[in-house]
Structures are given as structure tokens and as C-alpha cells.
Copies of this chain bind each other. A is one copy, B any other.
Amino acid sequence: MQQAANTARATRNPDQTRQRILEAAFMEIYRNGFQGMRLDEVLAATHLTKGALYHHFPNKQALGYAVVDEVILPMVQAVWILPLRGAADPLQALIDVIEQMPDTKPPEMIQYGCPLNNLAQEMSPLDEGFRQRLDHAFGEWHGATRQALQQAQQQGLIRTDCDCEEIATFVMAALEGCIGLAKSAQSKDRLKVCNRGLIQFLRSLKTH
């Protein structure tokens, strides 16, 4: 039995359909994790059906991979990488991004944490495909942070004995830790307190 389904179907737009699926899948993964994501929920959110989903993606895993590549990775670039580009004072730019985070992205960030880290923590030990994609995103982020630190170092803003590579790694880890702890407490205050510790660390790198 076949009816006209949802009365008015706009002219075909497969790219947009695919994008809608990706975004709905992202939200489901963000809220429930990849294993917790139900394809039926994604379809309900998009008002699509199995046919559409399996036309665009061969299976659940491929959908998950696409969410990482096409949603999460660009998100990381927008939030953590672009704001550092071409900053006059790279160290201050980094501090600013961290300081403003609690207020620029609530309340989802507090409630559900960091999409990148969530998925990395869940899937890294279970699926090498996920791990590599997520680790690649961390790599991009790390590169941008390291570059900002190195520029600050060249400008004489931070001490010359700082290992920017190492510090960039630690900054990423600390940031994810702060977000994670705030999520555990479901408290924006916790995030602010935690971030203050990180900022204190960054300031301790400054040449006095």
C-alpha cells in the first residue's frame, strides 16, 4: 500500500535530505552516545523512513563515521581552531575562548559535554574506525593550539623554556576534563571554577 505520504513533498533534494539525517543523527549521538542512538529516533526527528536512511548510508556505523567527518570535525574547527587564526595576541585569544566558553555555549555543553570527547571516550576502545577519525580531529585541534602557543612564544609573550607541543596537548586534555567534570556535576559553576584553573596555568607561562 502506497499513499502520497506527507502531502506536499518538496522537489527532490537529496543533498539536503542527507544533511538532515546527519544533523539528527548527530543530536541523537550527542545525547545518547553512538550505541544509544536509535535509527528510529533519527527517522522520527527527520520525518523520513528507513528507505531514505539506507539509501544515503549503508549502515549505522557508516552513518556514525559520517557524523564525525561532516558534523563534529567542522564543529571543532569552528569552536577551537578558527578563533585562534590570525590573532594579534594568540595566548590571550586562547584564554578568551576558554573563558567565554561557559557563557557562549550553554546549556547543552554543560548537560551533554563535548561531542568530540563523548564519542572518543565511548568508541575509541571499541571501533578503530571511530578512533582514527576522532583522533584526527584531536590532531587538528592540537595543531592549531600548538601553533598559537608557538606564535606567542616567538612574540616573547610566553617563556622560551615552554614545550609548546606538550603544553598544547595538556591544554586540550585539561579543557576536556573541565567540560567532563562540569557535565558530571551538571553545573555551569563547576565549569567556570575548573576553567579558572586552566587559565591560571596558561598565565603561569607568561614572561614576567
CB of A113 closer than 8 Å to a CB of B: yes
CB of A183 closer than 8 Å to a CB of B: yes
Task: Count how many chain A residues have C-beta atoms less than 8 Å from C-beta atoms of the other chain.
Answer: 47
Copies of the polypeptide in the assembly: 2
List the B side residues contacting A32 at CB < 8 Å.
Answer: 35, 126
A122–B175 Cα gap in the complex (Å)? 18
> Which of the listed residues A169, A177, A194 has the most CB atoms from chain B within 10 Å of its own CB?
A177
CB of A54 closer than 8 Å to a CB of B: no
List the B side residues contacting A174 at CB < 8 Å.
Answer: 170, 173-174, 177, 197-198
Asked if A173 and B186 sit within 8 Å, CB to CB, the answer is no
Asked if B122 and A186 sit within 8 Å, CB to CB, the answer is no
User: A166-186 CB contact bits vs B (8 Å, 1 = yes)?
Assistant: 110111111111101101111
User: A16-49 CB contact bits vs B (8 Å, 1 = yes)?
Assistant: 0000000000000001110110000000000000
CB of A65 closer than 8 Å to a CB of B: no
List the B side residues contacting A73 at CB < 8 Å.
Answer: none
CB of A118 closer than 8 Å to a CB of B: yes
State the 5 A-B residue pairs at the shortest beta-carbon distance, nearest first: A170-B197, A177-B177, A173-B177, A120-B184, A174-B174
